[in-house]
A and B are shown apart, each in its own frame.
Chain A
Amino acid sequence: MQRNNERAIKKKSPSFLNDASIVSFVIIIFSLFLFYLTFNFDEVPPILNRGIQPATFPKGLLIIIMSLTSILYFFSLKNPWKKQETLPKTFSYTLIILILFAIIAKTLDFFLGLSFLSFTISYLWGERRKLLLFFVTVIFPLLVFIFFETILNLRFPGGILTDLYYR
């Protein structure tokens, strides 16, 4: 019975799919990609070369990162990382809202994006009181807009709402 359970656990999580190996894999792949890019950096003639070529320092750093990551991985074989709890749905929704904010802020309006994010996050996280939702969605972004616009003389990017003000 116990052996069956152990087998089931082993089946569920293959050793190469644990957090340590995934994190190490991502770091090394990312570093290798950047390492490849360093070969495309321009080289400077010796007269302008201040000690080392511009690509040498980042190359050295990436080698250090990859070496340390390999050591980290081998240590994790001896002392496995603590298993992380599954992320709740609210995290995924918050992440999606962040992406939607970026899309709205870029395509429609910066402050519309901020109001959208404030409302959806507040609502998603459990706020149901209309007055407070109105405050975080409209009043607070408006106060921040007025502060930046009048005191810091900042001009925000144009959009369907912001242009109404600037006109």
Chain B
Amino acid sequence: MENFIYMLAPLLSIELFLVLFFGTLAGLILGVLPGLGPTTGGALILPFTIPMDPLSAIILLTTIYCAGTYGGAITAILINTPGTPAAAATCLDGYPLAQKGEAGRALGLATIASVFGGIFSVVILVLFAPMLAKIAYQFGQPEYFALAIFGLTMLSSIGEGTPIKNLIAAAFGILISTVGSDFMTSVDRFTFGVNILTEGIGFIPVVVGLFAISEMLVQSTLLNQTFNRVTLDALKLPTLDDVKSTWKTILRSSGIGAFIGILPAEGGTVASLIGYSEAKRWSKNPQEFGKGSIEGITGAEAANNAATGGAMVPTLALGIPGSATTAVILTGLIVHGVRPGPSLFREQPDFLYGIFGAMLFANIIFFILGFFGAKIFARVTLIPNKLLWPMVFVLSVCGTYSLNQSLMDVWIMLAFGIIGFFMRRFGFSLVPVIIGLILGELVEGTLRQSLVIFDGNWFMFLTRPIVVTFLIFSIAALLVPYLRGEKNN
């Protein structure tokens, strides 16, 4: 009962409600704008949350995550360009249905599926996060090390990039985390004699550089791109027949999305692709997929929104990000001095349930905003890149500078923007870099502390059942993409 009241906190405080409302609105706008989305948008907004209290800051970031994931569908359906990577599968049937003059129906179905998936995932989050946190109480340093390794190996199977490229990117992320004064012995590593670097490379300059600046460089190569825009009269609620023919798909995809979201490092993109392909596999009319199937739209949208709550489960319970955007949220938690993990559930239930409540209400608010304002949000896609990206750059630079009032952070951001662009050009995903950077300290710290416990004997890891289980999972995570590739071949 107490926890239920904590969940209502965002509605009971005017300040929190305003954060919730504007976070949802900002998330929708960021989701609609191709190239931005909740990850880049969250990274851009992160520095602005520094003066806020931790709960308001994290509510802002999580509502941007929820609403941004849905917002991507509007662009996918109207201009055949996913506003977010997670909406890529929505294009496949959303745009063809819109071309048939049923844009309102397509958006209505996407909205209902998104809201259902989102609310379903919050229920999963409320149920499973405390359970996972209880299990994590039994974890010592070796178990956390094995868990972090499992999280990193899961990166090999994320949607973008090949498994090896993803692993290289993750190792690169961990390597960045070693820059600076060694946190255990104070020995300088990779500082090149630069004093500021002894404090290490901050998360935010890397995140903003990799996502926002590299995207600006990508946009500079796409200036000749043209969009075929479908006009939207009004969003239409699904008819009873639509509901009858899609409710099973929505339910199934919500389950798939929540499950995929819980897996470390996976996220909405993988969830929507699996949700879509499962919808096709179970459909009585698979031949309609790709031609405007309503099951295709709902299958993808329910899954990617259900992954939001799922991805928050390992993020909050274990400190292992469940997706790219939750990596940004995790950065937000760390910046605000909140250490995710089992102790958070014991010591700050008001904080946690406040976030759960905010995610739940964000789904309701984006339903209302989406229903009444879809036409206005559709117009956001008209903002030309030649005006949008210079403004994004100004915000990126000022936001990054504001953290430590250091120009070094700005140079780091620019450098990672250029590195990020070339990584993307050659098929390396950026998500593993961020997750590697975030997990780097955990991996190294727990490894070294474990070796102290084991008196330097590496084989002692194999005497711990949980460690062995995670290592088996890790090997499986590395093998699955290859077995899948062999099967596809």
Query: B-contacting residues of A (Cβ < 8 Å)?
Result: 19, 23, 27, 34, 37-38, 41-42, 44, 48-52, 54-55, 57-58, 61-62, 64-65, 68-69, 71-72, 75, 81, 84, 87-88, 90-91, 93-95, 98, 102, 105-106, 110, 114, 117-119, 121-122, 125-127, 132, 135-136, 140-141, 144-145, 148, 151-152, 154-157
Contacts and interface: CB of A to CB of B under 8 A. Distances in A.
Given A50-B184, A95-B418, A152-B51, A121 B448 contact: no
Nearest to A65: B171
B391 A127 contact: no
Contact of A65 (B172, B190, B447): B172
B173 to A, nearest CB: 10
A58 B190 contact: yes
Contacts of A72: 162, 164-165, 168
Given A58-B175, A58-B189, A125-B223, A156 B387 contact: no
A27 B168 contact: yes
A114 B448 contact: no
B169 to A, nearest CB: 10
B344 interface: no
A92 B455 CA distance: 54
A133 to B, nearest CB: 9
Contacts of B395: 144
B394 interface: yes
21 contacts: A42-B187, A51-B451, A51-B452, A52-B447, A54-B182, A55-B189, A64-B171, A65-B172, A72-B164, A84-B426, A90-B220, A95-B418, A102-B411, A102-B414, A106-B407, A119-B390, A121-B393, A140-B390, A154-B402, A156-B401, A157-B407
Interface string B413-449: 0100110000001110000000000000000100111
A64 B172 CA distance: 10
B177 to A, nearest CB: 10
A69 B426 CA distance: 13
Given A91-B221, A114-B397, A98 B414 contact: yes
A37 B391 CA distance: 39
B425 A84 contact: yes
Contacts of A38: 189
A90 B449 CA distance: 50
B123 to A, nearest CB: 37
Contact of A34 (B190, B220, B391, B397): B190
A89 to B, nearest CB: 10
Contacts of B221: 87-88, 90-91
A105 to B, nearest CB: 7
A122 B168 contact: no
Which 10 residue pairs across A and B have the least CB separation, nearest first?
Answer: A51-B451, A125-B386, A51-B448, A118-B390, A94-B220, A54-B187, A54-B182, A127-B386, A50-B184, A42-B187
A92 to B, nearest CB: 9
Nearest to A126: B386
Contacts of A75: 164
Interface string B153-192: 0000000001011011001101100100010110111100
B52 to A, nearest CB: 11
A68 B155 CA distance: 14
Contact of B185 (A48, A141, A151): A48
A17 B221 CA distance: 23
Nearest to A128: B386
B448 A52 contact: yes
Contact of B390 (A71, A121, A154): A121
B387 A136 contact: yes
Contacts of B168: 27, 65, 68-69, 72
Contacts of A144: 394-395, 398
B188 A140 contact: no
Contact of B426 (A19, A87, A98, A117): A19
Contacts of B450: 51
A148 B402 contact: yes
Interface string B136-168: 000000000000000000000000001011011
Contacts of B389: 121, 125
B46 interface: no
A94 B217 contact: yes
B307 interface: no
B405 interface: yes
Contacts of B394: 114, 118, 140-141, 144
B330 to A, nearest CB: 21
A95 B188 contact: no
B283 interface: no
A97 to B, nearest CB: 9
A21 B463 CA distance: 42
Contact of B407 (A69, A105, A118): A105
A91 to B, nearest CB: 5
Contacts of A95: 217, 418
Contacts of B188: 41-42
Contacts of B174: 61
Contacts of B426: 19, 23, 81, 84
B384 interface: yes
B385 interface: yes
Given A72-B165, A91-B220, A95-B418, A61 B387 contact: no
Contacts of B467: none
Which of the listed residues B220, B221, B390, B444 has the most CB atoms from chain A within 10 Å of its own CB? B390
A132 B398 contact: no
B410 interface: yes
B456 interface: yes
B217 A122 contact: no
B386 A57 contact: no
Nearest to B391: A140
